[in-house]
Structure formats: structure tokens, C-alpha cells
């Protein structure tokens, strides 16, 4: 075990020790606020006002720190009673042999001292001791130093999901493909198409939720109720060749001020020849609604859709890279 165990009340302790949620959470909240405030940009200005920083710390700790449970594990880096680093470890979706690192945070003044590596080694040892088969984490794709650290510890990138946003129309140089609304008995095929577009590890760790595709009646009922409540219109379309579903377009068109949401999936065998047409068809349909920004999440491994999005005026905003480490 990498972590050093500290006795309660030892003020001169310096190093990594196990997380004590009852005692440590107030300091960890402030640490997470400092480390992740850029991810919640609206809170950035609050950090200059002490009382508002306390509020911001509470909000950010809620977003980045799981609530204490029996499966919560973690470590902190402490010097003389002050916490300057934290790593949190929890069961991933209650799966006994898969653990997830929720955050790796080090105070800015203590970075580049190897603290993050010490914390990660402690988390890896803990996961191994609990017979983990997999250890996974998310990292911002632009955080090159963190990615190098994780790769050096045996983590491999699974895929990167990036949010793209289109803020203004661009004249498209390609024709819309003939899409039609998916029938209820075709929704499962859309779900299976989405799974087919993911690599094996992404299917294992982050498969698409079947509720996202309206396959079950109760999901469609809940979706329609939500649409009515928030003034949204959910529509699903398919592109077929010889009665074979090759691509899907899902729209969440907004009737109030929030951005429209767009999701495009393509059968791997059809990649490279229908993305532009699907995107043109989706934008044509969204023209029937009020002009809004349009957001879309795209996997980096779907290179053709990434390029089609750029051609249509979408720009990347933020993303997450999923990384995984296996244990034998």
C-alpha cells in the first residue's frame, strides 16, 4: 500500500493517507472548487468573494465528489493538517469488480511535485486489493500532463466524447439524405446501431442507455411527458438502404431559449459516405423550429462525423476522454 497511515491528531504528518469523509470533506470541497472551477465557469468569479467561494465549493464538491457511501474510498495528501490533494475511488455503477476514479485534484501551489502520482498509486493499490478487474477514469483531452501520468501508470484511452456547438448557420455544400421517422418497431434497431458504433471497451464501460432510444413504451411515455413539461420536441429518424437501417438522427428541439440537441449514429459499414447527408437532413428539420444554437456530442473515433460537423459550422467546446486500466 502506497498510502501512509496517519494517527488522529498528528499535526506534523506529511504525505498520503486514507480519506476520512467525516473529517476531510470541508477541506476537499475547497480543493475541488479550486481544481475544477474552470469546468463550471459561472462560478469562477465567485472564487474572489470568500462567502461565495464557500457556496461555490459546496456546489462543485456535489458535482465532482460522490456522496459518502459504503463503496466510497479515497486518499488525501496532507501537510500539517491541511489537505492539498485528493483522489476519490468508488464502485462504477455498483459493479463489484469495476472501480472508478472520480477526481484527481492537487492544489495549484503543490503541483509538479509528484503528489498526483502518489495519490494515483494509492488508488491503484486499493483497487487491486479489492480484486478489481478494471479501474476507469475521465480526463479532459487537453490535459496532456494528466494523460501522460495516467498512461505511465498503465491506463489506455478508450475514446473521447466531445460536445460540438453550432452558433450560426453555414451554407452546406451537400444534399440532405431522405430520412423518415422511425416506427416503434424500429427503435430497437436504432439502439443496436448505436452500440455497433462503439468499440468493444466503450460498449463494456459506457454502453448507450436503452431509454435514450425510446424502445420501451414506458420510456416513450415518460419522454412525451417531459417534452410537454419543458416545451421540447423529441424526434427520431432513420436512413435506410434496401430496407436496412444505416443511420439515425435524434432531435431534441427546444421551444424556449436552450440549445437544440442533435445525435447522429452511423452503421460502421456506412461510415464515410452518409454523415454529411444525415447532418444536412437534421439541420433542415431543425429549421422548422426557432433559431437556436445546436449542440451535438461526437466520439473522436467517428472521424467522418467529426469532419462533417466541422464542415457544417460546428466547433468543439468541451470533452472527456475515458481511460481504463485492467488488472489480471
Range of the domain at 71: 14-132
**Residues 238, 113 within the same domain:** no
**Residues 20, 96 within the same domain:** yes
Helix (H, G, I), strand (E, B) or coil at 15: strand
Tell whether 119 is covered by a domain: yes
**Residues 104, 220 within the same domain:** no
95-134 pLDDT, tens per residue?
778 999 988 999 988 998 999 999 999 999 999 999 999 9
Among 89, 117, 132, identify where a domain stops. 132
**Distance between CA atoms of residues 179 and 13, nearest Å:** 65
The percentage of residues in the chain with a pLDDT greater than 90, rounded to a whole number, is 67
13-65 pLDDT, tens per residue?
789 999 988 888 888 888 888 877 666 554 444 444 444 444 444 444 444 45
Give pTM, 2 decimals. Answer: 0.84
Helix (H, G, I), strand (E, B) or coil at 235: strand
CATH number at residue 298: 3.40.630.30
Tell whether 146 is covered by a domain: no
**Residues 126, 175 within the same domain:** no
Tell whether 227 is covered by a domain: yes
Q: Please count the structural domains in the chain.
A: 2
**Residues 177, 306 within the same domain:** yes
Tell whether 207 is covered by a domain: yes
**Residues 99, 183 within the same domain:** no
Tell whether 151 is covered by a domain: no
Q: Is 223 exposed, middle or buried (0-12, 13-18, 19+ CB in 10 A)?
A: middle
**Residues 128, 77 within the same domain:** yes
Amino acid at each position: 500500500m502506497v498510502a501512509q497511515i496517519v494517527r488522529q491528531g498528528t499535526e506534523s504528518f506529511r504525505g498520503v493517507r486514507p480519506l476520512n469523509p467525516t473529517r476531510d470533506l470541508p477541506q476537499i470541497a475547497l480543493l475541488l472548487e479550486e481544481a475544477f472551477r474552470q469546468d463550471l465557469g459561472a462560478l469562477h468569479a465567485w472564487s474572489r468573494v470568500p462567502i461565495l467561494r464557500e457556496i461555490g465549493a459546496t456546489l462543485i464538491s456535489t458535482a465532482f465528489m460522490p456522496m459518502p457511501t459504503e463503496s466510497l474510498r479515497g486518499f488525501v495528501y496532507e501537510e500539517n493538517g491541511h489537505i492539498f490533494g485528493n483522489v476519490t475511488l468508488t464502485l462504477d455503477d455498483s459493479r463489484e469488480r469495476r472501480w472508478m476514479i472520480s477526481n484527481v485534484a492537487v492544489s495549484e501551489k503543490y503541483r509538479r511535485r509528484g503528489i498526483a502520482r502518489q495519490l494515483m498509486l494509492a488508488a491503484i493499490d486499493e483497487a487491486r486489493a479489492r480484486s478489481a478487474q478494471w479501474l476507469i477514469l475521465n480526463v479532459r483531452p487537453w490535459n496532456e500532463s494528466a494523460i501522460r501520468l495516467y498512461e505511465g501508470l498503465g491506463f489506455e484511452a478508450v475514446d473521447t466524447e466531445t460536445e460540438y456547438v453550432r452558433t450560426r448557420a453555414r451554407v452546406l455544400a451537400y444534399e440532405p439524405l431522405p430520412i423518415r421517422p422511425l416506427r416503434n418497431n424500429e427503435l430497437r434497431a436504432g439502439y443496436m446501431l448505436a452500440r455497433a458504433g462503439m468499440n468493444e471497451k466503450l460498449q463494456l464501460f459506457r454502453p448507450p442507455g436503452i431509454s435514450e432510444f425510446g424502445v420501451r413504451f414506458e420510456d416513450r411515455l415518460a419522454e412525451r411527458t417531459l417534452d410537454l413539461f419543458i416545451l421540447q420536441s423529441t424526434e427520431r429518424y432513420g436512413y435506410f438502404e434496401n430496407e436496412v437501417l444505416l443511420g439515425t438522427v435524434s432531435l431534441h428541439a427546444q421551444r424556449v431559449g436552450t440549445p437544440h440537441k442533435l445525435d447522429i449514429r452511423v452503421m460502421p459499414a456506412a461510415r464515410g459516405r452518409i454523415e454529411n447527408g444525415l447532418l444536412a437532413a437534421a439541420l433542415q428539420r431543425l429549421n422548422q423550429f426557432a433559431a437556436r444554437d445546436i449542440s451535438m456530442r461526437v466520439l473522436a473515433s467517428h472521424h467522418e462525423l467529426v469532419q462533417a460537423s466541422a464542415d457544417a459550422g460546428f466547433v468543439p467546446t468541451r470533452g472527456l476522454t475515458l481511460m481504463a486500466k485492467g488488472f489480471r
